[in-house]
């Protein structure tokens, strides 16, 4: 895997993490097993094709058993064995799990919840990012670890902590409160500016000194939306500050060793501004787990993988964690069906991953995650799971030439902004039943089923080269974005904006004059009233192909100013009012969708934009249940085909299937995958 640094201070630096080709492996915890098992593990890793493991993620208590008493000998023995068997190490700083002695000596390092209750010993990631005491102990451990293993031949990468912000996403303690106030002073300068930004005059929240500001601890009413938005901004920055602090220690000691940390980009949500975080690591890594209750989980996987590629700037990235089968935190924790392990893994690769790693190598016999699946399950190597792991390893070796390639640039850009996610959740909207991810997922799904490439990119990204830009419920939007979209459309591009977009500015204040706020002029519409639909209630929409279409959750009273209605409400309180509008702008068009269309309606919208933009699918013919993505280099192109259906699929494609080594015969069996080097 070739890693191009995203770090601002080392632009263009390229690292090669041995070996060439795809990285394959997972979290390895030798400290949980008798030492006589380690040699057997290394042998089985060779058998399965594993070439990289993350080591020491939760090992702090075994590396520093008492304050200042370090023992790296066992870790060195484990790394020696791995190196002798051709397995490289992504060595973790073990700071996700502070040891018991540290918690007992300094309970103040642990997070405090909104009710004032301090986190006790027994979980993980219980520490507060703003704790100076924790930072001191953590950086001492990082320094000692880096010096101990700087020259070890197995060391290939550094893995900073683990899932920063997962369990310690918010801390409401005294030390964090003071750090929040300092952050606000830096942001606003004067307390008057804070009062203006937050509209503190409402409910009498005006403050006369930054010292009067408190974190959003438990209150009997809803907190100020401006406060909540800034609290999320601060929290993301505090976690990032810890990442940077550990990273800088590692860089000072091992400047040539690339550094990563595992993001958590998936539908379950997060508070981290990963587009910003990505600039501070050498390679973007992500953890992703499918939700078993979601019948379209493979499409959410593709969406999240495309988001990961978007924050990586289009560069290859690492899948640091996913599961071979069941996890231990869903309801129910169902096992993956036959072939799903392969399909999930190859889908991540299809969307840009150059590493496929799992949590974890051996399924634990005890501990909180003893029923989380592993590459070697409780049943042992004579199991379906380990057989599939071996097959996946063989596939990754066969397609090794694809590593380092990039996913072909999409024709469609879907804009994502983490601040919009925060703002969306910061206030009581006319309906709070809508989740932020639903509309972006639905539109991504609609284009993907037509085999049109979609890039999910930060809203600040350059839009040059795209034919279509989709703006799905971008609740917080800056005027600057509206201006760039106006220029994009005037030059011949096509924009689709959905309801709940452009509602508030960067201060979380409503843009006055009617919805959709900053996008009113571009779209040629004005909304003066919002009509959320009660649960279970539907309205019909007429005008698009396949009408009447069904809509639910949301509707709006839309007035057209310079736009025309291309679909209207066929019933309900807004009968005959515009539901979807269209406006010609220069050589392009701007479409507004004021209601929650079902999948068929979203597909009709996507199909219309594909027709208007004259977009060509990645292949001439393929059914919608076949996931299709193309990765390419200057010398070759590779089509990834994944059949998520229950019947064989015909895909019109000519080339060599790297999985089988033979010519691709255009027929892909149900549940199978193919990676075709195109002619």
67: pLDDT strictly greater than 70: yes
Tell me the mean pLDDT in the region 149-174: 97
4: pLDDT strictly greater than 60: no
Tell me the mean pLDDT in the region 11-24: 68
Which H/E stretch holds residue 82? helix 73-84
pLDDT for 490 equals 97
Q: Is 225 left (phi over 0), alpha (psi -120 to 50) or beta?
A: alpha
The rounded distance, in Å, linking the Cα atoms of 147 and 91 is 13
pLDDT for 225 equals 97
28, β-bridge pairs: 55
Tell me the mean pLDDT in the region 37-45: 98
458: pLDDT strictly greater than 90: yes
Q: At what angle do helices 132-149 and 225-253 cross, to 10 degrees?
A: 30
Spatial contact of 440 and 414, defined as CB atoms under 8 Å apart = yes
Q: Which CATH architecture has domain 412-613?
A: 3-Layer(aba) Sandwich (3.40)
Q: Give me the residue spans of the domains in the chain.
A: 259-403, 412-613, 626-678
The rounded distance, in Å, linking the Cα atoms of 511 and 30 is 56
pLDDT tens-place string over residues 112-148: 999 999 999 998 899 999 999 999 999 999 999 999 9
Would the pTM of this model clear 0.85, i.e. be above it? yes
Tell me the mean pLDDT in the region 155-183: 97
Alpha helices in 312-430 (DSSP H): 340-350, 384-398, 418-426
Instruction: Calculate the CA dihedral of residues 501, 506, 509, 510 and round it to 10 degrees.
Output: -20
Tell me the mean pLDDT in the region 588-607: 97
88, β-bridge pairs: 52
> Whole-number mean pLDDT of the chain?
95
pLDDT for 270 equals 67
pLDDT for 13 equals 47
The rounded distance, in Å, linking the Cα atoms of 344 and 327 is 14
CATH number belonging to domain 259-403: 3.20.20.80
Tell me the mean pLDDT in the region 642-660: 97
Tell me the mean pLDDT in the region 248-265: 97
Alpha helices in 49-123 (DSSP H): 60-63, 73-84, 100-105
pLDDT for 679 equals 79
pLDDT tens-place string over residues 501-511: 999 999 999 99
The rounded distance, in Å, linking the Cα atoms of 525 and 204 is 35
Q: What is the DSSP letter of 660?
A: T
Active site residue 321: yes
pLDDT for 8 equals 44
The rounded distance, in Å, linking the Cα atoms of 529 and 14 is 53
pLDDT confidence bin for 267, thresholds 50/70/90? confident
The catalytic position among 280, 300, 321, 556 is 321
Active site residue 163: yes
| DSSP per position, 8-30 | TTSTT-EEE-SSSS-EEEEEE-G
The catalytic position among 64, 163, 246, 340 is 163
The rounded distance, in Å, linking the Cα atoms of 156 and 318 is 14
pLDDT for 486 equals 98
The rounded distance, in Å, linking the Cα atoms of 625 and 449 is 7
The rounded distance, in Å, linking the Cα atoms of 374 and 664 is 33
The rounded distance, in Å, linking the Cα atoms of 669 and 64 is 52
pLDDT for 16 equals 58
- 259-403 and 626-678 in the same fold: no
pLDDT confidence bin for 11, thresholds 50/70/90? very low
pLDDT confidence bin for 20, thresholds 50/70/90? confident
**Please, what CATH class does the domain formed by 626-678 belong to?**
mainly beta
The rounded distance, in Å, linking the Cα atoms of 606 and 657 is 31
């Amino acid at each position: 895997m070739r890693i191009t640094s995203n770090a601002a201070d080392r632009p263009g630096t390229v690292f090669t993490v041995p070996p060439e080709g795809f990285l394959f492996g997972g979290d390895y915890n030798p400290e949980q097993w008798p030492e006589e098992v380690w040699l057997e593990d290394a042998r089985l890793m060779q058998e399965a094709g594993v070439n990289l493991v993350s080591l020491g993620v939760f090992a702090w208590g075994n590396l520093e058993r008492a304050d200042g008493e370090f023992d790296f000998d066992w870790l060195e023995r484990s790394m020696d064995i791995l190196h002798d068997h051709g397995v490289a190490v992504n060595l973790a700083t073990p700071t996700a799990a502070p040891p018991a002695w540290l918690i007992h000596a300094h309970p103040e390092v642990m997070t405090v919840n909104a009710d004032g209750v301090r986190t006790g010993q027994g979980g993980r990631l219980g520490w507060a990012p703003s704790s100076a005491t924790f930072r001191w102990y953590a950086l001492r451990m990082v320094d000692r670890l880096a010096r101990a293993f700087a020259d070890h031949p197995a060391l290939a990468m550094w893995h900073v902590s683990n899932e920063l912000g997962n369990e310690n996403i918010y801390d409401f303690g005294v030390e964090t409160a003071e750090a929040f106030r300092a952050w606000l002073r830096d942001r606003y300068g004067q307390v008057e500016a804070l009062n203006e930004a937050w509209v503190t005059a409402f409910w009498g929240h005006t403050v006369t000194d930054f010292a009067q500001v408190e974190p959003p601890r438990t209150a009997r009413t809803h907190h100020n939306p401006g406060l909540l938005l800034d609290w999320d901004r601060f929290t993301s920055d505090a976690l990032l500050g810890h990442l940077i602090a550990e990273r800088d220690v590692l860089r000072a000691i091992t400047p040539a060793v690339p550094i990563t940390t595992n993001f958590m980009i998936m539908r379950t949500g997060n508070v981290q501004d990963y587009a910003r975080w990505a600039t501070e690591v050498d390679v973007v890594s992500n953890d992703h787990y499918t939700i078993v209750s979601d019948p379209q989980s493979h499409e959410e996987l593709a969406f999240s993988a495309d988001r990961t590629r978007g924050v990586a700037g289009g560069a290859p990235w690492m899948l640091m964690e996913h599961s071979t089968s069941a996890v231990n935190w869903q309801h129910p924790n169902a096992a993956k069906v036959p072939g799903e392990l392969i399909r999930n893994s190859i889908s991540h690769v299809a969307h840009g991953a150059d590493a496929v790693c799992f949590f974890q190598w051996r399924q634990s016999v005890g501990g909180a995650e003893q029923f989380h699946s592993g590459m070697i399950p409780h049943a042992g190597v004579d199991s379906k799971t380990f057989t599939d792991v071996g097959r996946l390893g063989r596939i990754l070796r066969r397609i090794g030439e694809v590593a380092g390639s990039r996913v072909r640039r999409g024709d469609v850009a879907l804009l994502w902004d983490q601040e919009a996610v925060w703002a969306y959740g910061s206030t009581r909207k006319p309906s709070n039943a809508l989740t932020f991810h639903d509309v972006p997922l639905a539109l991504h799904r609609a284009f993907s089923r037509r085999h049109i490439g979609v890039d999910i990119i930060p809203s600040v990204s350059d839009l040059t080269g795209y034919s279509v830009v989709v703006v799905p419920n971008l609740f917080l939007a800056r005027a600057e974005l509206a201006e760039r979209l106006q220029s994009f459309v005037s030059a011949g591009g096509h924009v689709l904006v959905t309801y709940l977009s452009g509602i508030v500015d960067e201060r979380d204040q409503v843009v006055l004059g009617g919805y959709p706020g900053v996008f009113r002029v571009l779209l040629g519409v004005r909304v003066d009233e919002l009509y959320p639909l009660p649960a279970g209630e539907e309205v019909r929409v007429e005008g698009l192909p396949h009408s009447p279409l069904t809509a639910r959750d949301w509707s709006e009273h839309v007035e057209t100013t310079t736009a025309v209605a291309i679909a209207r409400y066929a019933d309900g309180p807004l009968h005959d009012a515009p539901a979807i509008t269209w406006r010609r702008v220069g050589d392009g068009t701007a479409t507004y969708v004021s209601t929650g269309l079902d999948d068929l309606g979203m597909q009709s919208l996507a199909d219309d934009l594909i027709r208007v933009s004259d977009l060509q699918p990645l292949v001439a013919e393929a059914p919608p249940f076949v996931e299709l993505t193309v990765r390419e280099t200057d010398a070759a192109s590779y089509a990834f085909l994944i059949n998520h259906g229950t019947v064989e699929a015909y895909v019109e494609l000519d080339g060599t299937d790297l999985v089988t080594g033979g010519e691709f015969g255009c027929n892909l069996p149900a549940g199978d995958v193919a990676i075709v080097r195109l002619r």
